[in-house]
Amino acid sequence: MYTVIKRLEISASHRLCLSYESKCTNLHGHNWIITIYCRAKELNEDGMVTDFSHIKRSITEALDHKNLNDVLPFNPTAENIARWVCDRVPHCFKVEVQESEGNIAIFEKE
Ligand SMILES: [Zn+2]
């Protein structure tokens, strides 16, 4: 089994829709650190699980320097973003989304 790990940073804003009072419902920004884990039993014809640059492009083109509320069809919490990234990247089984220092959400496929 082969695993590749891609870490990338995006700058983006969001505001959260919450059922309680929170400053996070105001528009604000983060430098998100997204760590993407991909795994495959067999390598592709290029000798890779998946190309690091393809992973980066598919995420940064969609999210970098964007308002996440405009580009994602769900409440853009770190948890929901992690799930969205995992669904978007081929062979991905786990995603960590760090919103700020010490605040990390993880989505893993079961
Ligand atoms: Zn936030």
**DSSP per residue over 38-105, as a string?**
EEESS--TTS-SS-HHHHHHHHHHHHTTEEHHHH-SS---HHHHHHHHHHHSTTEEEEEEEEETTEEE
Q: Quote the domain boundaries for residue 80.
A: 2-108
Show pLDDT as tens, one digit a residue, over the chain (110 residues). 999 999 999 999 999 999 999 999 999 999 999 999 999 999 999 999 999 999 999 999 999 999 999 999 999 999 999 999 999 999 999 999 999 999 999 999 98
C-alpha of residue 15 to centroid of ligand 1, in Å: 7
C-alpha of residue 87 to centroid of ligand 1, in Å: 21
**Number of structural domains, the chain?**
1
C-alpha of residue 88 to centroid of ligand 1, in Å: 22
